[in-house]
């Protein structure tokens, strides 16, 4: 038996693919190329759509005029831009922020809504004095506004100065005034110290401007200065209200400290109302005792004693006795004899006066009452009922007994410093607390939740990518592969060898246990195959002999 020739090697898949492509018509090739181009364009478009550039803030909180000029410049430079959700910022691609800022700065943008002393740098020759004064005032207002804007709670500020013209007559002289309008950041406020700082800053920057001539208002029109506030002029301000709250909270903390170990922190509520006196009272009193004691100290004493002796009538009663007396001569006196009389016909008159000044019993008292004294306290306490467990395991709420309420009342009286003279009141009661309801924020629809919206956008982006890929694969690539790639034989013809045209292909297959069968079994199967299908055996012998269907070798 002759040796059979080696069969030709089977073509590779690439060769088969090229062969099928060459077999396509020119129209089919153009259609396939167009489909591939469309698929690539769709993939690139989806990729670019999903990879939007990251935007960053270019400028924020701009004036309307500056914003319009910047947008016009960006359009001229073909720079993509967006606005922030609030509309107060302009966004550009993050990789172009610095470049765009430098180019806009070269054009003088943004100019800013406020001008400072740089306004004086462009003074022209021949400007009038009035124009110079107006420019100086504008520059001063702008510089003050810029300084005020540096405060953390101030978003923007405007300063208006009313500076009167100087006059040579003191009687007609007018003092300057100033008004400041501040726009605060949302959720922020200014305390009294910050307002006073703004007032002092403006007053110190303008000559002859007093602090009481500066007014400060916020964006809501609320007057922040105290010049026109009658309550502040009366001495009532937020500091006093804060002090009252602190006093009340201190008493509440005392009550909580004493009751928490007894009934628990969640089983009672306490409220305190304090009447605080903020009046400033000064008293000066001077008192004298109406009836001084006899043994009181003598401050000064003065005694005066006078004695006069008159002569008795002399001569014969009649006309001569009515004559004027003769000139007086110094009489010769002699000491009085004790026990003696005043002399014949003489009369003695005496006068004695004494003045005694005692030390005054005077009391001078100066009293200055302290500010913020507690005049009266009102305390209300409600205690939750006790929970009692029944024999069957159930629970019920039981009100506190009178002894328990009295004990709590006594403890609270001592903790708060109860004063009957001051008029304090205390009320302790027992009641069942209502079940606390957890009230959360209003439920937001799931489609309005920002987190869900962001997740939905991301999912939608990937869904679009998957849809585009599926369309390209099932609509373009797979049909092209089916039309170009060779078809695989299916069914019983998969094992047949290609032969000459009109010749049947023989399917040769081996059973699962063919390798394990003996030679006798194989020979018996070959004989059976020769009996049932001799044509197969004939074709096999032809292949062995290397002859074709015509008998040629």
Higher pLDDT, 423 or 24: 423
| pLDDT recorded at residue 237 | 63
Handedness of CA 310, 314, 318, 324 (dihedral sign): negative
Rounded Cα gap, residues 497 and 261, in angstroms? 100
Residue written as tokens 């509440």?
252
Contacts of 359 (CB under 8 A, 6+ apart): 296, 297, 298, 299
* Pairing mode, strands 154-162 and 214-218: unpaired
Among 46-60, 194-208, 435-449, which range has the highest average pLDDT?
194-208
Yes or no: say if 400 and 447 are a contact pair by the CB < 8 Å rule. no
Q: What is the three-state SS of 154-177? A: EEEEEEEEECCCCCCCHHHCCCCE
Spatial contact of 274 and 434, defined as CB atoms under 8 Å apart: no
> Residue 507 contacts by C-beta under 8 Å, 6 or more apart in sequence?
492, 493, 494, 495, 496
Query: 216, 195 in Cβ contact below 8 A?
Result: yes
Question: Given pLDDT bands bounded at 50, 70 and 90, which one contains residue 155?
Answer: confident
pLDDT at 270: 92
Predicted pLDDT of residue 534 = 80
Residue 321: pLDDT band with limits 50, 70, 90 = low
Q: How far apart are CA 11 and CA 47, in angstroms?
A: 38
Residue 291 CA from chain centroid, whole number = 72
User: Which neighbouring-strand residues pair with 365?
Assistant: 285
The span from the CA of 359 to the CA of 297, in Å, is 6
> Under a CB-based contact definition with an 8 Å cutoff, are residues 154 and 191 in contact?
no
Alpha helices in 191-275 (DSSP H): 192-205, 230-233, 238-263
Angle between helices 129-149 and 192-205 (to 10 degrees): 160
Name the token pair of 112: 């800013």
Contacts of 378 (CB under 8 A, 6+ apart): 272, 273, 275, 424, 425
The reported pLDDT for the residue numbered 231 is 47
343 pLDDT above the threshold of 60? no
The torsion angle over the Cα atoms of residues 16, 18, 23 and 24, rounded to 10 degrees, is 120
Cβ-based burial of 243 (10 A; exposed 0-12, middle 13-18, buried ≥19): middle
Q: List pLDDT tens digits, range 196-232.
A: 899 999 999 998 899 889 999 998 888 888 654 454 5
Cβ–Cβ under 8 Å, residues 375 and 246: no
Q: What whole-number distance in Å separates Cα of residue 212 and Cα of residue 227?
A: 6
Classify residue 217 by burial, with Cβ atoms within 10 Å: 0-12, 13-18, 19+. middle
Which is nearest to 152 in space by CA: 126, 189, 119, 123?
A: 189
Of 344, 511, 474, 533, which Cα lies nearest the Cα of 39?
A: 474
Residue 255 confidence class, pLDDT cut points 50, 70, 90: very high
In terms of pLDDT, which residue wins out, 487 or 300? Answer: 300
Q: What is the pLDDT of residues 456-495, one digit of tens each?
A: 877 887 787 788 778 777 777 777 666 655 554 444 444 4
Distance CA 486, CA 10 (A): 13
The helix (H) or strand (E) run that includes residue 540 is: helix 534-545
Element (H, E) at 70: helix 64-76
Per mean pLDDT, which range of 102-111, 216-225, 310-319, 348-357 is the poorest?
310-319
Burial of 16 (0-12, 13-18, 19+ CB in 10 A): middle
> What is the distance, to the nearest Å, from the Cα of residue 67 to the centroid of all Cα atoms in its chain?
27
Q: For residues 322 and 381, is the Cβ–Cβ distance under 8 A? A: no
């Amino acid at each position: 038996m002759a040796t059979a020739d080696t069969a030709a090697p089977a073509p590779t898949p690439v060769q088969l693919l090229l062969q099928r492509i060459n077999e396509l018509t020119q129209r089919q090739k153009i259609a396939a190329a167009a489909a591939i181009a469309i698929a690539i364009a769709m993939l690139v478009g989806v990729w670019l759509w999903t990879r939007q550039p990251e935007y960053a803030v270019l400028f924020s909180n701009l004036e309307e005029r500056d914003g319009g000029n910047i947008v016009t410049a960006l359009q001229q430079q073909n720079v993509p831009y967006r606005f922030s959700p609030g509309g107060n910022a302009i966004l550009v691609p993050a990789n172009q922020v610095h470049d765009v800022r430098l180019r806009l700065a070269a054009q003088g943008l943004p100019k800013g809504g406020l001008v400072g002393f740089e306004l004086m740098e462009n003074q022209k020759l021949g400007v009038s004095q009035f124009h110079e004064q107006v420019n100086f005032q504008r520059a001063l207002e702008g510089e003050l506004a810029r300084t005020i804007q540096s405060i953390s709670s101030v978003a923007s500020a405007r300063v208006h100065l009313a500076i009167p013209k100087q006059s040579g007559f003191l009687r007609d002289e007018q003092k300057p005034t100033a008004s400041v309008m501040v726009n605060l950041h949302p959720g922020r406020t200014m305390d009294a110290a910050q307002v006073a700082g703004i007032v002092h800053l403006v007053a110190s920057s303008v000559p002859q401007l007093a602090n009481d001539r500066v007014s400060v208002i916020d964006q809501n029109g609320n007057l922040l200065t105290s010049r026109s506030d009658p309550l502040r002029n009366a001495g009532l301000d937020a500091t006093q209200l804060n002090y009252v709250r602190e006093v009340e909270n201190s008493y509440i903390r005392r009550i909580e400290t004493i009751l928490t170990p007894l009934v628990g922190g969640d089983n009672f509520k306490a409220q305190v109302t304090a009447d605080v006196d903020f009046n400033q009272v000064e008293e000066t009193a001077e008192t004298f005792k109406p009836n001084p004691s006899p043994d009181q100290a003598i401050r000064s004493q003065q005694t005066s004693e006078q004695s006069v002796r008159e002569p008795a009538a002399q001569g014969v009663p009649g006309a001569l006795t009515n004559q004027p007396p003769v000139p007086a001569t110094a009489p010769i006196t002699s000491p009085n004899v004790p026990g003696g009389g005043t002399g014949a016909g003489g009369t003695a008159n005496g006068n004695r006066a004494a003045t005694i000044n005692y030390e005054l019993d005077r009391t001078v008292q100066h009293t200055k009452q302290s500010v913020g004294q507690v005049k009266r306290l009102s305390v209300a306490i409600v205690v939750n009922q006790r929970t009692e467990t029944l024999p069957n395991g159930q629970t019920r709420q039981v009100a506190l007994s009178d002894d328990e309420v009295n004990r709590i009342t006594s403890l609270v009286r001592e903790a708060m410093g109860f004063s009957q003279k001051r008029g304090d009141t205390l009320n302790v009661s027992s009641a069942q607390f209502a079940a606390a309801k957890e009230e959360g924020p209003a439920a937001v629809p799931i489609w309005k939740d920002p987190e869900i919206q962001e997740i939905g956008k991301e999912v939608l982006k990937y869904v679009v990518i998957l849809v585009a890929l599926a369309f390209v694969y099932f609509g373009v690539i797979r049909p092209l592969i089916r039309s170009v790639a060779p078809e695989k034989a299916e069914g019983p013809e998969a094992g047949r060898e290609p032969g000459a045209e009109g010749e049947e292909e023989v399917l040769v297959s081996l059973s699962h246990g063919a390798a394990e069968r003996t030679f006798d079994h194989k020979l018996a199967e070959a004989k059976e195959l020769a009996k049932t299908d001799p044509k197969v055996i004939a074709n096999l012998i032809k292949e062995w002999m290397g002859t074709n269907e015509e008998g040629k070798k």
